[in-house]
Structure 1
Amino acid sequence: MKTLKIKVCGMRESENIWELLHASPDYVGYIFYPKSKRFVGEDPKPEIFSLVPKSTQKVGVFVNEDLEKVRVICSKFQLEVAQLHGNESPEYCQVLKAGGLQVFKAFSVGEHFDFLQLESYIGAVDYFLFDTKGKLPGGTGLKFNWNLLHDYQLPVPFFLSGGIGPHDVDALAQLEHDQLFALDINSGFELEPALKDTHKVKVFINQIRKITT
């Protein structure tokens, strides 16, 4: 099994981020969606972005945000990635990608999800992110049926999200898919919204890297 990248999402506290960085995550995610419990705020402290080394990429998470505002925020805080959780079109994604950003397009997967509907995004995004279908955009803290991933046959690699926790290492070790690129972890490792148990994150990352090296 190839080495999986790890993204830790929903961060906003400086000290917590600093502790998290000792686990060397590949990506750190910041939520710019005001309705989220993990929203970074209208005027986040610049240090929560500047303390992240170049070896860890910074991801801004947006939901149906104005295109120009996404570009401004990513430029202001030197974010390398725009992760989109709304109804953003392939054309919207392509504009961001053409401007130099990596683009992750998230989709909520339910029992009858048709992966073929994603074909129009090929070339417009760098990665898909598959999360659990819920009533509102963003994470539910629940897993979807990972067996559904066998139906995914497109050439775009993907992040797996949705309810991943510290005790899922063995199950993830059995999950083989050529396009599985990374794991996205969030609420399963939290002490409270936007505050991670950094010890659990570090143990999880070490375990995942051991089984996928």
Structure 2
Amino acid sequence: MAPPTLGPLRTRVKMCGLTRAEDVSAAVRAGVDALGFVFVPASQRNLSLDQAAALFDLIPPFVQSVALFLDPDPNDVQAVINAVSPDLLQFHGQESGAFCRQFTRPYIKALGVDLFAGDAALHLNTVLEEHPTARGFLLDSHASGALGGTGRA
């Protein structure tokens, strides 16, 4: 089976890890396309459902909300969906395509840039085959021992 082909590519800007109302407002004023909210208990940016609900209320139309997870329990993902109804789910761990699809919600899959060491085409084809329904892929730089990206390209 041939891997799926990528459609037209467009750069989008998503600010992630927001925890304060003033940060949401500043990001919106700056013109971001999407706002990311972390639901990873080990992260210092992890939000409770109540905190998330207050921040989601500040998101204007045409700015997408993204709920970020790292190898979550399916019940935790469903709880976030029920509480704040994010526009997109973002998975950062070793989640399979079947795991991501079970929520019947659009999702993006984050890929550590270290996945592209060596035979990049082989790695990318494997990911595309595993996640054919992903709405997009996010290339994420990692720092050893840290959760999430480094903020560097």
Q: TM class, shorter-chain normalised?
A: 0.7 to 0.9
Q: Is 1:131 the equivalent of 2:140?
A: yes
Partner AA of 1:102 in structure 2: P
Structure 2 residue aligned with 1:121? 130
Equivalent residues in 2 for 1:141-152, closer than 5 Å: 141=150
Is the 2:13–2:33 contact (alpha carbons within 8 Å) kept by the matching residues of 1?
Answer: yes
1:5 aligns to what SS in structure 2?
Answer: coil
Is the 2:96–2:131 contact (alpha carbons within 8 Å) kept by the matching residues of 1?
Answer: no
1:104 aligns to what SS in structure 2?
Answer: strand
Is the 1:12–1:30 contact (alpha carbons within 8 Å) kept by the matching residues of 2?
Answer: yes
Structure 2 residue aligned with 1:79? 86
Structure 2 residue aligned with 1:50? 57
Is the 1:84–1:104 contact (alpha carbons within 8 Å) kept by the matching residues of 2?
Answer: yes
- Tell me the CA shift for residue 75 of structure 1: 2.7
State how far apart, in whole Å, the 1-side matches of 2:141 and 2:89 are: 19
Is the 1:11–1:40 contact (alpha carbons within 8 Å) kept by the matching residues of 2?
Answer: no
Deviates more, 1:33-42 or 1:60-69: 33-42
Q: Is 1:163 the equivalent of 2:152?
A: yes
TM-score normalised according to structure 2 size: 0.79
Structure 2 residue aligned with 1:170? none
Q: Is 1:26 the equivalent of 2:33?
A: yes
Is the 2:109–2:138 contact (alpha carbons within 8 Å) kept by the matching residues of 1?
Answer: yes
2:80 aligns to what SS in structure 1?
Answer: helix
CA RMSD of aligned residues (A): 2.2
Partner AA of 1:163 in structure 2: R
Deviates more, 1:127-136 or 1:29-38: 127-136
- Tell me the CA shift for residue 17 of structure 1: 1.1
Structure 2 residue aligned with 1:92? 99
Gaps of 5+ in 2: 1-8
Q: What fraction of aligned residue pairs are identical, expressed as a percent?
A: 24
Structure 2 residue aligned with 1:190? none
Partner AA of 2:134 in structure 1: V
State how far apart, in whole Å, the 2-side matches of 1:26 and 1:102 are: 16
Name the count of aligned residue pairs.
140
1:44 aligns to what SS in structure 2?
Answer: helix
Is the 2:13–2:34 contact (alpha carbons within 8 Å) kept by the matching residues of 1?
Answer: yes
State how far apart, in whole Å, the 2-side matches of 1:125 and 1:75 are: 21
- Tell me the CA shift for residue 3 of structure 1: 5.5
Gaps of 5+ in 1: 142-161, 165-213
TM-score normalised according to structure 1 size: 0.59
- Tell me the CA shift for residue 62 of structure 1: 0.3
1:108 aligned to which of 112, 125, 150: 112
Partner AA of 2:135 in structure 1: D
Higher relative contact order (CA closer than 8 Å, sequence separation 6+): 1
